[in-house]
Structure 1
């Protein structure tokens, strides 16, 4: 074969160096990078240790792990956790241990239990240097049969004594102490709202022992979604809100009034799924480093007295920004680089990659780069997506063939796709599949109106937008409309099942811990999302008709496409009986079905062997359905009815 000549092979059958094993065992999860006293810290999961999460530290070019064997850092508050560690005033740190949800202190390798009370879950840890204590969100699960209560608490760092500071709301997040320690700011909200719907920003003045005195509401009397309050070096309280323009912009409260820091048809915030999410931070000279998203792509900007300056747009996915003086860090990725902990110069932008979620691809690995597309959908509106064409390692498809298409549905559903290199997407494109990752109506990054567009329309608008993406790409001649597949997790899994049930556009699908019965979800889901489905579909009992009409389990007679289900048996967000009920219904009808239950997994798979198995099984499931001769060795997979 000539040097530049490619082997012609059917799409989907190509041999790929992106193996399921390498992706699973090289795929760490990175979270919560933070600068402190000249060091950069971050959380990193270890897939070869069952997803155990440890605290890593970078200092003067050296990286070290600070978490002792036997501990894993993770909060289970609100099920999604976050804010599970914080530094102290020396060179130690506090953390929540996953197995017992106890609060521990670690310094010089010595670990000490601070407090651990069965039924209490702490998160959003903040150090109070004035009083040598921690401020945290506390979720109390000690009353069986009732929703857990939420409060802000103080924890004595030496004795572990808990003291309730504030409560009364259904949810609290983002407690932040002023620099003098005399004021405490936080965000709160109540059912039926989610934190991206309607919240309140409140401030309490603290007496010298640290107890709240006067409490005032700064913002949120009207419908607005507030995100990440922080006290500035000028003693002003800065926060993100969609209060005026309908876009998440930065604002400042000076103790009297509120003024806009940015006024942009772009977003500086993100949906508050986890505690301690950050999109911006103060750096040196009172300037602000911020992540800004427009048209589905992120960039890093600096904000100062002279306005806003773009520092970088190559890193087009940004999840977390933090700075302290001249040191700054972000969690970011780009189309040719997976999500990474990236050190930033506050004036010049990205400087150095400290850790990557996966190894950056070498020259021998084919990489499909996304094309950002917008396409017409229902009601003369637009939806958006990232389209990845198939790119093989020395392969090309036959001239008279179009590639099969895999439609990806992000979770949430209040969320968005990301443009960072995702080895799991390259797994498909390198084998000859096209992939489209859809930002359906209801996704974030396009303003409040677009974000709320899915309310009342979940199960219809998201499905319509996935179908519209297929039609758009088929009309452009880029994919084979007869070989379209659909895959999604959690809320995206619901979109998968609804699309397979209520449309005939897809040949098969994969539901990863997805939802088939809206009524069962409403009866069993956790407090954080207990009213979310009623926002997305309609209030009960008034719109029971919509719930019935949009629950795939109640319309299995319309479903004709094969489905593979992946589920963790410890999932508290979408319980395992959802997948079991759907699989049983398909089996009874004689529709080809596979049902894979992973022991010890929750809402999302952490163990490398299960991540590997899910990729390999989904590939071979599609190969069986579409009649593609998959090059990879087959896994053990039972497909009933095929």
Structure 2
């Protein structure tokens, strides 16, 4: 096809902000009752709510239906980042879903075959949303759900206690808080409660401040007597070791994902009759690959034991696959699907448990719920039905970028991983000798990773002639403990250096215009973008979304309990290194910023509250730097409303157009000094 030359950035594209917002309706958390498969799915067009959807394995061509009607919103606020918000069990009239309702954080029971509306299972606390529930499992006998309960007990963000509790399914606790039984208490944080197949033992993961769950956790096992955990043993984990998942293989054996060797590998833990450890955990697959990830959300399952003794596991470096592990040999046989990224949401389905469920994607495949037969290896998409194993063009397939995973050389000759998305448009090209603008995307966390997948938000820019490079800077997961610990005491240094190194490398290769480089990020990525704009001259402008801007404020009460001491590892001990906190904070260096920017913030954000943005802008007042501040009602940490997603994209593109000198047909956002 002959392409028409137009300046980079001004290429017409059918991928508009509304299409991006609709694309955000991605599936999560698959679960099954025999042949019936459910999952959670966000709905930006419905106020950002999370719906529950379902289909059936044994009904070829069955439509996907929404089970939980609007305005119900299956989303938990435990740790503010939430996690798996529901569990399935069986009732007299068919399947029953027990879920956390976002609006009041109570647990509700809903049977689509019998109930006209969900019925509450937990009481309404005196302080709204003071009790929150996540990672639900069905208790022994099927008459209770057991889960992690987070109780907010005072005005400070750190006034929080957590426990594993049992909630009766008969609804008796809705009006009687005493009907909820405490099963186990432990350290300040709890995750991954799992009952042994015979119901006699309970395992869980715990950790305490100042550690984060990817730094140091403990795997506990207790005997269950009269519905309570007794005689607790520590069977894995410790200092400089993080257990991130554990599942029962049989009543005396656990498979846990932990990293004493520097990589999250599956280990087998054999227990004695009294619940102690028979021997040290045995690494089943000693590979320099990750079989787990950071516990930002409760309920992730990167591995699932199978009935035949094998283990289904998500694994890889940078990208991930799903394979079947033979514990005796360590051999892995990967599923033959086109997906290059699998999330930690595995589950078993089918009457015989012979189907593996997961959420997967690829550069040309949008995230979807995938069912893989454990019998013959065939696969099919459940959330986007098509023939078994059949490929299908992704939305806007011709307009998607052609990404490449790269390893760049950074400061001190260290490797820096990044995904490069060059501009691509099937109908347009750029004038000869023009280099494209590039935007460095910085993921959040900072203990996280930018996967290389079908992403219409990336394509929104690349299809208009703006390159994107997503940098997995030092501190990212997917590359082993040593790589993610590069950020220890170096947040705001290593991450910025790595982003600058990648941007400059693209310029030196002739792939990017040195005068048209930008940086953007949200949350921890917003921090890195702000530090880069206040501390380097590499970027001509930036997009800063719901950021950390003041380390001192963040450390002294301006964030939630989960991350309230995260800076101890990222920056240094408090208050001994207070000067370091002050010196690195963009709010203390606002006078050094010279580049235009847009600042985007949710007004209900409990993690990175708007007060930090307001403080930063006050320090910037009178400096003459063109900028725009957009604050959104009804948004928390990360944008979920369709109107917000559209407005944020328009503001970002408008910034680049004004600074880089190209025209667009999208609304212009005024940049005021």
Q: Say which SS state the counterpart of residue 155 (structure 1) adopts.
A: strand
Q: Which structure 2 segments of 5+ residues have no match?
A: 174-178, 272-277, 386-391
Q: Which residue of 2 aligns with 1:311?
A: 335
Matches within 5 A, 1:557-636: 557-630=591-664, 632-635=665-668
- CA displacement at 1:350 relative to structure 2: 6.0
Q: Which residue of 2 aligns with 1:264?
A: 287
> 1:558 and 1:582 mapped to 2: Cα distance?
12
TM-score of the superposed pair, with normalisation by structure 2: 0.91
Residue 122 (structure 1) aligned with residue 120 (structure 2):
no
Q: Which residue of 2 aligns with 1:552?
A: 586
Residue 379 (structure 1) aligned with residue 412 (structure 2):
yes
For the Cα contact (< 8 Å) 2:26–2:368, is it kept in 1? Answer: no
Residue 14 (structure 1) aligned with residue 16 (structure 2):
no
Q: Say which SS state the counterpart of residue 232 (structure 1) adopts.
A: strand
Q: Which residue of 2 aligns with 1:171?
A: 189
Residue 191 (structure 1) aligned with residue 209 (structure 2):
yes
> 2:375 and 2:527 mapped to 1: Cα distance?
44
For the Cα contact (< 8 Å) 1:299–1:314, is it kept in 2? Answer: no
Matches within 5 A, 1:425-504: 425-504=458-537
For the Cα contact (< 8 Å) 1:298–1:313, is it kept in 2? Answer: no
Q: Which residue of 2 aligns with 1:149?
A: 161
> 1:473 and 1:578 mapped to 2: Cα distance?
33
Q: Which stretch has the larger CA shift, 559-568 or 56-65?
A: 56-65
Q: Which stretch has the larger CA shift, 306-315 or 69-78?
A: 306-315
- CA displacement at 1:508 relative to structure 2: 0.2
For the Cα contact (< 8 Å) 1:151–1:165, is it kept in 2? Answer: yes
Q: Say which SS state the counterpart of residue 250 (structure 1) adopts.
A: strand
Matches within 5 A, 1:378-397: 378-397=411-430
Residue 202 (structure 1) aligned with residue 220 (structure 2):
yes
Q: Say which SS state the counterpart of residue 308 (structure 2) adopts.
A: helix
For the Cα contact (< 8 Å) 1:38–1:327, is it kept in 2? Answer: no
Q: Deviations over 1:174-225 (max 9, x none)?
A: 0000111110000000000000000000001011x22222111101244210
> 1:311 and 1:589 mapped to 2: Cα distance?
57
- CA displacement at 1:109 relative to structure 2: 4.7
Residue 352 (structure 1) aligned with residue 387 (structure 2):
no
Q: Which structure 1 segments of 5+ residues have no match?
A: none
Q: Which stretch has the larger CA shift, 585-594 or 342-351?
A: 342-351
Distance 1:169 1:350, change over 3 A: farther
Q: Which residue of 1 aligns with 2:346?
A: 321
For the Cα contact (< 8 Å) 2:9–2:464, is it kept in 1? Answer: yes
RMSD: 1.7
- CA displacement at 1:602 relative to structure 2: 0.4
Q: Deviations over 1:268-302 (max 9, x none)?
A: 000000010111112342221111121x1111111
> 2:30 and 2:291 mapped to 1: Cα distance?
18
For the Cα contact (< 8 Å) 1:568–1:600, is it kept in 2? Answer: yes
Q: Deviations over 1:44-73 (max 9, x none)?
A: 111211111111111123322221333110
| Among candidates 303, 317, 332, match of residue 280 of structure 1 | 303
Residue 342 (structure 1) aligned with residue 374 (structure 2):
no
| Among candidates 32, 35, 40, match of residue 37 of structure 2 | 40
Distance 1:349 1:528, change over 3 A: farther
Residue 105 (structure 1) aligned with residue 109 (structure 2):
yes
Q: Which stretch has the larger CA shift, 226-235 or 537-546?
A: 226-235
Q: Deviations over 1:527-571 (max 9, x none)?
A: 100110121011111111211121011112221001100101000
For the Cα contact (< 8 Å) 1:586–1:593, is it kept in 2? Answer: no
Distance 1:302 1:20, change over 3 A: same
> 1:363 and 1:68 mapped to 2: Cα distance?
29
> 1:113 and 1:360 mapped to 2: Cα distance?
42
TM-score of the superposed pair, with normalisation by structure 1: 0.96
For the Cα contact (< 8 Å) 1:583–1:594, is it kept in 2? Answer: no
- CA displacement at 1:615 relative to structure 2: 0.7
Q: Which residue of 2 aligns with 1:301?
A: 323
- CA displacement at 1:88 relative to structure 2: 1.4
Distance 1:373 1:558, change over 3 A: same
Distance 1:580 1:349, change over 3 A: farther
Q: Say which SS state the counterpart of residue 585 (structure 1) adopts.
A: helix
> 2:440 and 2:407 mapped to 1: Cα distance?
15
> 2:42 and 2:240 mapped to 1: Cα distance?
37
Q: Which residue of 2 aligns with 1:134?
A: 145
Matches within 5 A, 1:73-92: 73-90=74-91, 91-92=95-96
> 2:228 and 2:114 mapped to 1: Cα distance?
33
- CA displacement at 1:312 relative to structure 2: 3.7
> 2:238 and 2:553 mapped to 1: Cα distance?
34
> 2:384 and 2:586 mapped to 1: Cα distance?
39
For the Cα contact (< 8 Å) 2:601–2:610, is it kept in 1? Answer: yes
- CA displacement at 1:348 relative to structure 2: 5.0
Q: Which residue of 2 aligns with 1:240?
A: 257
